[in-house]
Structure 1
Amino acid sequence: MLGLEYFTFNDLWSPVFMSFMLLIIAGYFILIGPLADKREDAEPTSVGRKMAFVAGMFILYLAQGGPISLLGHLMFSFHMLSMALSYLIAPPLLMFGIPPWVWRILLRVNPFKKLSFLAHPIVAAVIFNGLFSVYHLPSVHDYVMLHFGVHRLYYAVLFVASGLMWWTLVNPLPEHTEIKGLKKMGFIFINMVLLTPACGLIIFAPTGLYATYNDPNVWAKAMGYCVSGNPSALLTTFGGPKYFAFLDTHVDQQIGGILMKFIQEIIFASMLAYVFYRWYKQENRESEEEGSAGFTTTGDMDTSSAASRTGG
């Protein structure tokens, strides 16, 4: 299916990366289990948080080490799916899965406190969306894909930037919440807007932009970092990425841009609806409390007046 049958188990499933992710999951359950029992400030971790963390790790693995990662080297649409899973879906799940008491410890021992300004909502939004947009400039994208060290570093920085951006929305610590209500809705809207130019460039470009998916020689070199064997053998056997693509390269690129924007819109629109609902309930609750307080005060005044008249 999609040409995956031509690749080995190691190419498809990256056993080393899989083992690394499983170790992180094991460490997580040790942290919230046996180690948490030894701390007075630790609280029980809900099943929902545990499921969110495991789901986030599984999604990140599929996007960066599983079949989706390999398919992302064959078709641009899968590349964008990998980006969406890695930076729009996995980070909030992982961050929600970490219990509040762990976050308090991490923030207390944070060695990068002088860089805390990077978590400011506007700064974080500009950094993440800027890095994402710059990466998808054709010259930058092809350079990153052809240099393994730069590729890993850029992806790591982008992942950290996505975490800083998501912190404003999934932060579980009231004492570290910088914006609420309407401001948080504005933050979501800003993120939805900032990613639009990059997606627009990809969707409305008149031709295929990326040599990684258009030039067989560039494609073979990029593939050499994610599959075993001699990259030149890929050219001999398959001739280039078009062997695997069931769509025209340009159409595949357009679908990739649409897919990324669609996933982003769905996620942020859902978050916007949730934040609006919470804000609306909070406003109604405060209005009812003020009304009840006013009614009580008026009632007390009327009682006092009646008592005065009776006494007189």
Structure 2
Amino acid sequence: MPISIFGFQALWSPYLLGTLLLVTVIYFLVTVKWQHKFATSEPLKKSEAINFILFIISYYIIKGSPIDLLGHIMFTLHMTQMAFLLLLVPIFFIKGIPAWIWKIVVEAPVARTIFKIFTKPLVAIILFTGLFSVYHLPLVFDTIKLNEALHMLYTMILFLSAVFMYWPLLNQVENQTEMNNMSKLAYIAGNAVLITPACALIIFASGPMYGTYSDGDMWMKAMALCVPSDTLSSLSLSGPELFSNMDLVSDQQVGGVLMKIIQEIIFGIILFRIFRKWWNTERANPEEITENALKEFQNRTRYQ
């Protein structure tokens, strides 16, 4: 059965598209036209503008295009959607906001405390992987999927925790948490390891775990999160099996596998970039690096 039966609004989320276009206009007004009104501002870099546009486009594709609707129909698409939303989009978001704007945000009275606590590497990694794992517990997952306000709130918190998780790796703001290259490698590896149990639980489950994908009544209620109620009430549907030839267990397992594969690819690219930057730095300044390492060793032995 074609998903076009759900209508234009469910397929393309025009309200979200309008909101994102408005956010884009405000972004360029602040960073280009009104930039001179801020004492600490700097000219917008091409890389920042590109990353912000990528953030807007990728966010709309994930949350506003038919992919969002398909994510409510098939668990495979839901896991793919969440993987990109939590592991790729935050990178574009952090790198798309100019450092001078981030500096204003993170030094604001309330935000200063929040960033100081939640961007500490150990706290950030536990917060993100913990929220991710709890989200995929069947009772929590089904409860969230059946409540629009709770779904929006938890998704927003998950996305914010992903921003905190990436912050120690990507931020360019002075006096913010910054790790050396070796710590970054361990940090990424730790993230990959801690995400694995949740994916394994889904991949190796012997039966359907989530009622919002296996129970017809719960599935219909969950669909109400993205399909207008009048459109949904006019359709005679029994469950997601009408839109896919894949059985529920296979759909669930493929979803878990795809989540893990996407995570490994994105983290692998980040690791490669860290290695390359580390290698280039060492080749460019070998004497300085050796001198700094010697000083650090001498300082350690002095206090032993």
Q: TM-score, normalised by structure 1?
A: 0.87
Per-residue CA distance 1:270-312 (angstroms, 9 max, x = gap): 10111122222333444234789xxxxxxxxxxxxxxxxxxxx
Per-residue CA distance 1:80-129 (angstroms, 9 max, x = gap): 11101211111110110111111111122252323321110111111111
| Partner SS for 1:238 | coil
Q: Check the 8 A contact 1:207/1:250 in 2, yes or no.
A: yes
* 1:200 lines up with 2:189 in the alignment: no
List aligned pairs for 1:265-280, cutoff 5 A: 265-280=264-279
Once residues 97 and 291 of structure 1 are traced to their aligned partners in structure 2, the CA distance between those partners, rounded to angstroms, is 34
Amino acid at match of 2:2: G
The alpha carbon displacement at 1:78 in A equals 0.7
List aligned pairs for 1:43-62, cutoff 5 A: 43-62=42-61
The alpha carbon displacement at 1:152 in A equals 1.1
Q: Check the 8 A contact 1:219/1:241 in 2, yes or no.
A: yes
- CA distance 1:231–1:139, shift in 2 (3 Å): farther
The alpha carbon displacement at 1:36 in A equals 0.8
Once residues 248 and 213 of structure 1 are traced to their aligned partners in structure 2, the CA distance between those partners, rounded to angstroms, is 11
Cα RMSD (Å): 1.9
Q: 1:211 — aligned with what?
A: 211
Amino acid at match of 2:24: I
Amino acid at match of 1:36: Q
Once residues 60 and 192 of structure 2 are traced to their aligned partners in structure 1, the CA distance between those partners, rounded to angstroms, is 26
Q: 1:305 — aligned with what?
A: none
Q: Check the 8 A contact 2:211/2:219 in 1, yes or no.
A: yes
| Partner SS for 1:245 | coil
Q: 1:186 — aligned with what?
A: 186
Unaligned runs of 5+ in 1: 293-312
* 1:176 lines up with 2:176 in the alignment: yes
Q: 1:258 — aligned with what?
A: 257
Farther off after superposition, 45-54 or 22-31: 45-54
Once residues 46 and 287 of structure 1 are traced to their aligned partners in structure 2, the CA distance between those partners, rounded to angstroms, is 30
Once residues 28 and 92 of structure 2 are traced to their aligned partners in structure 1, the CA distance between those partners, rounded to angstroms, is 16
Once residues 201 and 75 of structure 1 are traced to their aligned partners in structure 2, the CA distance between those partners, rounded to angstroms, is 18
Q: 2:90 — aligned with what?
A: 91
Q: 2:4 — aligned with what?
A: 5
Once residues 290 and 139 of structure 2 are traced to their aligned partners in structure 1, the CA distance between those partners, rounded to angstroms, is 61
The alpha carbon displacement at 1:260 in A equals 0.8
Larger Rg: 1
Amino acid at match of 1:35: W
Once residues 79 and 217 of structure 2 are traced to their aligned partners in structure 1, the CA distance between those partners, rounded to angstroms, is 22
Q: 1:158 — aligned with what?
A: 158
Q: 1:121 — aligned with what?
A: 121
Farther off after superposition, 256-265 or 63-72: 63-72
List aligned pairs for 1:25-44, cutoff 5 A: 25-44=24-43
Q: TM-score, normalised by structure 2?
A: 0.90
Q: Check the 8 A contact 2:282/2:289 in 1, yes or no.
A: no
Amino acid at match of 2:97: I
Q: Check the 8 A contact 1:221/1:231 in 2, yes or no.
A: no
- CA distance 1:290–1:269, shift in 2 (3 Å): closer
List aligned pairs for 1:275-286, cutoff 5 A: 275-286=274-285
Per-residue CA distance 1:122-175 (angstroms, 9 max, x = gap): 111111111011110111101110112211111111111011001111112253
Unaligned runs of 5+ in 2: 292-304
* 1:148 lines up with 2:148 in the alignment: yes
| Partner SS for 2:236 | helix
Amino acid at match of 1:278: K
- CA distance 1:286–1:146, shift in 2 (3 Å): same
Q: 2:221 — aligned with what?
A: 221
Identity of aligned residues (%): 38
Q: Check the 8 A contact 1:182/1:279 in 2, yes or no.
A: no
Q: Check the 8 A contact 1:224/1:231 in 2, yes or no.
A: no
The alpha carbon displacement at 1:231 in A equals 8.0
Amino acid at match of 1:184: K
Q: Check the 8 A contact 2:203/2:256 in 1, yes or no.
A: yes
